[in-house]
Structure 1
Amino acid sequence: MSIEARLAERNIVLPQAAAPVAAYVPAVETGGLLHISGQLPFLDGQVMTGRLGEDRDLDYGVEAARRCALMLVAQMKAALGSLDRVSRIVKLGAFVNSAGSFTDQPKVANGASELMVEIFGDAGKHARSAVGVPVLPLGAVVEVDAIVEVRA
């Protein structure tokens, strides 16, 4: 089954790939890998903001990470032309805007990780980092980047 068919079957609609907000490109393909810049979570056209453990809860963070992953997949499609060129999600890096007492960054990152497996199956299983940070661009609650193995 193609990735596009899997998306349709699961009623997953990809957003429009976001334009960069600074001096970088969304993705670089080199050496059989696609490196995707950090993506922010969007809800109704607005960045999901806040700090987990302070003014936002775990569920909000998980949903934000899922939305970051949707944007990562949108960037894959924009860069590769077809999601069927994706052979493996190699690594995700999740940055979680969180209070010093918040220690559930891995649970937040699961929002992105689980979506990759839902979309790409076993090829969506990946290595990962999940770290807490005191602030993210535009006040975002989560940012996720990715390294993806691609077919020629």
Structure 2
Amino acid sequence: MGTQVIEHTEHTTAAPGVVHALLRDGAGWPVWSPLDSFTLESPAPGGGEGVGAVRVFRTGRHVSRERIVASVPDRHFAYVLLSGLPLRDYRADVVLTPGGGGTEIRWRSVFRAKVPGTGWVYRWALGRFVRDVVRGLARYAAQNG
């Protein structure tokens, strides 16, 4: 089963710190993304939504559980999918690069489909979803940063 890659880049006029803060605040994701709701299942070892925290997002009947695996202020945020989609090794890395009077947001997701031959379907569907998430994040950060 081949590795699938989704990558979207957007520019926002907001500073990297503003964008990073939005990524770390799971409760805010439903405001600027297609997600319907958020629950913090378990906080990070140091508390809150740092590395190790498990977050649950719902969209319609779909529920996904994710663990934060990297959080470098103003630079990088990453999570892995624990459950919710028939995918293996799903990881999303969001790299924030200052420039152009704001921040470039580069969102890269990598995964393998559990069912052979379905990877392209998930790449297509998740690609659209990730595109909407990144666009929403960029717009919201610019308007509220």
**Considering the TM-score relative to the shorter chain, is it more than 0.5?**
no
More helix by share: 1
TM-score w.r.t. structure 1 length?
0.34
